[in-house]
Chains A and B, each alone.
Chain A
Amino acid sequence: MKNFREKMKRRIVFQVLTIIIVAAVYFILLYNKDKIAGENYIVSFVRGFQTGLFVSLQAVSIYYLFKYISALKNEETLKEIYIKENDERKIMIEQKAGSVSMIISYIILALASIIAGFYNQIIFFTLVGTLLFLAFTRLFMYLYFNRRY
Chain B
Amino acid sequence: MKSKIRELRKKNKLSQEELAQAVGVTRQTITSLENEKYTASLVLAYKIAKYFKLSIEEVFDFSNLKEI
Binding site for B on A (CB under 8 A): 79, 82-84, 86-90, 92
Contact = CB atoms under 8 A, between A and B. Distances in A.
B24 A89 contact: no
Interface string B6-21: 0000000000000011
| Chain A CB within 10 A, most for which of B20, B24, B43 | B24
A89 B21 contact: no
Contacts, number: 30
The 3 lowest CB-CB distance pairs between A and B, nearest first, are A89-B29, A87-B26, A87-B25
A77 to B, nearest CB: 13
Contact of B29 (A79, A82, A87): A87
Contacts of B29: 87-90
A1 to B, nearest CB: 10
Interface string B35-60: 00010110110000000000000000
B21 A83 contact: yes
A87 B26 CA distance: 6
